[in-house]
Structure 1
């Protein structure tokens, strides 16, 4: 996994709500709970897992980052969250009726091996999501106004990477041994308050946050001024309208 050390509180205050936007679509792919067991891999602060638990699933979360697990324990004390990460999950084969990984396979070093591991611990259904459209343009605009050159994001080795389209995602999952793969696209607009977006940057969340923390004091001041300018120009009723598109995949173990 790419490092997310120490970002639990900042993520909870920002992108956790955005990433939970796929919950209904994931639930539709898996069918009714009916007392079935579900593993949420990369469960983060527990928002998605808690929703599945409320719908009647017997849910276990699995999250490698301690600060994420700490937020989950505080916000969802009844939710069981185990420390663990892809591509080696601490569970037996077919241990859960269904397994989900929400915006996880776009962060691992070996997506196919990780997708194979998701299927290994599933007895029935497996589902995952990745971003097709994210708000990276916003942070590029901030950098441009600040006169800063953003660092290129980490790229996977060519033999590990896959095309970040619905078709490319489906092909990667089939390579990993998933059967009956179906992929759909879900688009929605996140109306984000500037305070939430700034919490993500200041807290080191995702590539924009990592870039902000890498700057010296003068660079951070320039970044903040540019961020405030962009928000002033683009906010409507105190929020920025940020369109997003996710690929939602489901299948069965091979």
Structure 2
């Protein structure tokens, strides 16, 4: 399979970014990413005896929720540490990297991917592979961080900019030829192009509740792109960023337990599979 140099660099940067950070992710941004899971499973109509694949499972949040519905669950993630963490929670997880999955054509009734599409260098090829492993008429449901962002999503980035952070050159950058507008209409169109029927996508909005230290701790632990940015700064710049962060936190309402209410926006898409491509893992 031929990939561009930009795609290979993106995928390598993503692997490096998440390596060894499963525990830190679970304790911080993992709670954020768990919020859409019930609606994700509903969109894929995951119920008792549904044979479901959770792709990009991370620490297994969506897979565990599907198991609680008495579904028959398999899970994959590109990062071995994430897979190990999911297995600790009793999930049948294995290492696999989109767009190559070790499953037969039409093996699953449903596929769910919670923010996985943000982290693959070839999103169109990834969707084609997910169609392949779904039976005809099987359901796919995906969440995606989109173009429109909530104020909570920008808090750490604003603090970095105000504190004088210089983004490192090794941040993951998707090949422009692989990119697409992160809007509901374009995400639905991408699913149609990949061979899915009746694609629909819409925005989800919610306030993520997190303590100021918890939210800072995700970035300080190297989680996601913002963690790479923060980790690349010298000690003096980090001190300035933290001061700006503390100042900006005052903009956000706090609940009775002192947690910030951080507005977030994401996309949720669903579709059904046409007959999959005739290809088996080699």
Under a length normalisation based on structure 2, what TM-score does the superposition of the two structures give?
Answer: 0.83
CA contact (8 A) 2:77 2:94 kept: yes
CA contact (8 A) 2:143 2:266 kept: yes
CA change 1:182–1:206 in 2 (3 A) is same
Q: Which residue of 2 aligns with 1:241?
A: 261
- Aligned-residue CA RMSD in angstroms? 1.9
Give, in angstroms, the shift of residue 107 of structure 1: 1.5
Q: 1:95 aligned to 94, 97, 107, which one? A: 107
Distance in 2 (alpha carbons) for counterparts of 1:168 and 1:110: 16
Give, in angstroms, the shift of residue 136 of structure 1: 3.9
Give, in angstroms, the shift of residue 214 of structure 1: 1.1
Q: Which residue of 1 aligns with 2:8?
A: none
**Structure 1 residue 205 corresponds to structure 2 residue 262:** no
Give, in angstroms, the shift of residue 144 of structure 1: 3.3
Give, in angstroms, the shift of residue 200 of structure 1: 1.0
How many residues were matched structurally? 252
Q: Which residue of 2 aligns with 1:250?
A: 270
Distance in 2 (alpha carbons) for counterparts of 1:81 and 1:136: 29
Q: Which residue of 1 aligns with 2:155?
A: 138
Give, in angstroms, the shift of residue 82 of structure 1: 1.0
CA contact (8 A) 1:185 1:247 kept: yes
Distance in 1 (alpha carbons) for counterparts of 2:186 and 2:173: 16
CA change 1:70–1:109 in 2 (3 A) is same
**Structure 1 residue 217 corresponds to structure 2 residue 231:** no
CA change 1:128–1:120 in 2 (3 A) is same
SS at match of 2:265: strand
Q: Which residue of 2 aligns with 1:196?
A: 214
Q: Which residue of 1 aligns with 2:185?
A: 167
Which aligned pairs between 1:1-254 and structure 2 lie closer than 5 A?
A: 1=11, 2-3=14-15, 4-74=18-88, 76=89, 78-123=90-135, 124-132=138-146, 133=149, 135-150=152-167, 154-232=172-250, 234=252, 236-237=254-255, 238-254=258-274
Can you give the 5+ residue segments of structure 2 that lack an aligned partner in the other structure? 1-10, 275-282
Can you give the 5+ residue segments of structure 1 that lack an aligned partner in the other structure? none
Distance in 2 (alpha carbons) for counterparts of 1:246 and 1:233: 21
Distance in 1 (alpha carbons) for counterparts of 2:160 and 2:62: 32
CA change 1:235–1:6 in 2 (3 A) is farther
SS at match of 1:44: coil
SS at match of 2:118: coil
Distance in 1 (alpha carbons) for counterparts of 2:267 and 2:153: 17
CA contact (8 A) 1:41 1:85 kept: no
Distance in 1 (alpha carbons) for counterparts of 2:81 and 2:197: 35
